[in-house]
Amino acid sequence: MAGKRVIEDTSAFRAMWHSDMQTREIAAHYGVRPPAVCRAAKRFGLTSRMRGGDWSPGSGAARDRGAQDDQQSEKCLSVPETPPHPFFTVNHDARILQTGGCWRALDALAGEWGQPVQRILARFHRLRAG
């Protein structure tokens, strides 16, 4: 038997989802775990917060969520300023960001560049947090 749904489709939830509030903060507000927040957002038809806005992993398909999302998309597509690195160039960084964090794509880049996949993954996270 399914449990009671704690998160209801309200304007408050939608506002929190589209704000700068982190998923774990929304989860704490409702007394649930972060995956429950993501499932609720998907159930309510809200777009994913992952790069590209699509719920399927690694798809990269863009969806239009309005002006706020257009600004976010531009932010995601630009390579953030990071400290210089002896191996990674701006072109490397752009290709890493284009993967959207998809393990298979990062592994392919690692093989192409002769680098350990952990190094490419670490660079992805540094750029994403940038």
CA 85, CA 108: separation in Å to the nearest integer? 20
Has residue 64 got a pLDDT over 70? no
Alpha carbon dihedral 104, 110, 116, 122, in 10-degree steps, equals: -70
pLDDT of residue 106: 92
With beta carbons less than 8 A apart as the criterion, state whether 31 and 19 touch.
Answer: no
Which helix (H) or strand (E) segment holds residue 30: the answer is helix 23-30
Domain count, the chain: 2
> Is the residue at 6 inside a domain?
no
CA 106, CA 121: separation in Å to the nearest integer? 7
pLDDT of residue 128: 85
Per-residue tokens: 63: 């969806």
Q: Do 82 and 118 fall into the same domain? A: yes
- For 100, which DSSP code? T
> Is the residue at 105 inside a domain?
yes
> Is the residue at 68 inside a domain?
no
Choose between 60 and 83: higher pLDDT.
Answer: 83
Q: Which domain holds residue 113?
A: 78-129
> Is the residue at 73 inside a domain?
no
Choose between 47 and 25: higher pLDDT.
Answer: 25
